[in-house]
Structure 1
Amino acid sequence: MTALVTPVTAAELAAHRDELADLLVAVVREGSSLGFLADLDHAAAAAWWETLLPSLRDGTLALWVSRPAEGAPVDGTVAWARETKPNGRHRAELRKLMVHPAARGRGTARALLAEAEDAAARAGVRLLFLDTETGSGAERLYRAAGWTEAGTIPDYAADPAGRLHPTTLYYKHPSPRPR
């Protein structure tokens, strides 16, 4: 099944905030390390999504959602944030690639990643980078998609249970997919 991946505007984010909060809570409770601990509740997740609104409005953040079909609930997201400092405007950080636990194994993460990479290239981003928990399933995805490992930092972040884990940094020079 191919995921339907679409960009999200600030107005759409505001309108679907609760749905996105449900997704974030489900992914964190399943154990994904996304910067939150297991006690994340719906209100805190919704508030976090709202913090993205200014960056979506000013264009420094690009966000996509995936759905298995038109009108179906959101089953995944990905974003990238462009650097705003003058010496780094050529790069962006890939953020919060997440897929609902019930939707995994369907190519959703690959579809979201490909769309984010393609959009970055079209926007003139020449370098994408990310960090992910070392040893996670996400590492296989990034390697298969042509990302290059840059190094590992020990005890970088806590998982949802509060245990410290190393993180691995990756980068990629995106290029647009043939249309």
Structure 2
Amino acid sequence: MSIVISTPAPEQIEEALPQLITLFQDAIASGAALGFVPPLSTEEASSFWQRVQEGVRAGTVALFVAYHGSSQEIVGTVQLVLAPQSNGSHRADVAKMMVHRKARRLGIGRELLRALEAKAAELGRTTLVLDTRQGDAAELLYQSLDYQVAGAIPKYAQSGDGTLHTTVIYYKVLNA
């Protein structure tokens, strides 16, 4: 699978909205821990992506999109959310990593994170922080890319069936 990673401009996000909504709904339907429970309505997903678009427009969010090269189908995304505080100009959050279930285990998440880390370094953001549900496959990806466990919060996130899950906080300090 040929993958192209890009950082779309706000107007490109608007054009890609139907695909982004489909990707997000697929991620939630397949059990991804992204702050939403299934079923994710089109309206709720659209509202989410519009907030992302506003962040991109404001320069507080960098969105990375993975396209299947031959079809330009969106198969994954991740966000770099810049800390707004004056004492946080060196850090950012890694947020909302999602890969369509038909494209998982193909290295797309790894490529998205590599692109995100390169952009973070370019922006002088050397400390990255993220959280994920304990036991998810994403933990293995983050660990393989040298993200370190900072701690865990029990009963932090609720899944669609009401079960409360532990969330693990990871960080990575990039080479300056």
TM-score by length of 1: 0.94
Gaps of 5+ in 2: none
SS class of match (1:160) = coil
Q: Which residue of 1 aligns with 2:128?
A: 128
> Does the 8 Å CA contact 2:2/2:70 hold for their aligned counterparts?
no
Distance 1:122 1:15, change over 3 A: same
Deviations 1:69-125 (A, max 9, x none): 144210000001101111112110000110000001111111101110111011110
The one-letter code of the counterpart of 1:162 is: G
Percent sequence identity is 34
Q: Give the C-alpha shift of residue 173 in structure 1.
A: 1.3
Matched residues in 1 for 2:90 and 2:70: separation? 34
Greater RCO, CA 8 A, separation 6+:
1
Please say which of residues 104-113 and 37-46 is displaced more in the overlay. Answer: 37-46
Matched residues in 1 for 2:105 and 2:159: separation? 22
Q: Which residue of 1 aligns with 2:154?
A: 154
Question: Following TM superposition, where does structure 1 have runs of at least 4 consecutive aligned residues deviating by more than 3 angstroms?
Answer: none
Matched residues in 1 for 2:54 and 2:47: separation? 13
Q: Which residue of 2 aligns with 1:107?
A: 107
Q: Give the C-alpha shift of residue 63 in structure 1.
A: 0.3
> Does the 8 Å CA contact 1:132/1:139 hold for their aligned counterparts?
yes
SS class of match (2:124) = coil
Matched residues in 2 for 1:16 and 1:2: separation? 19
> Does the 8 Å CA contact 1:60/1:81 hold for their aligned counterparts?
yes
Matched residues in 2 for 1:59 and 1:161: separation? 36
Matched residues in 2 for 1:25 and 1:75: separation? 12
RMSD between superposed Cα atoms in Å: 1.3
SS class of match (1:75) = strand
Q: Which residue of 1 aligns with 2:67?
A: 67
Q: Which residue of 1 aligns with 2:139?
A: 139
Q: Which residue of 2 aligns with 1:87?
A: 87
> Does the 8 Å CA contact 1:28/1:160 hold for their aligned counterparts?
no
TM-score by length of 2: 0.95
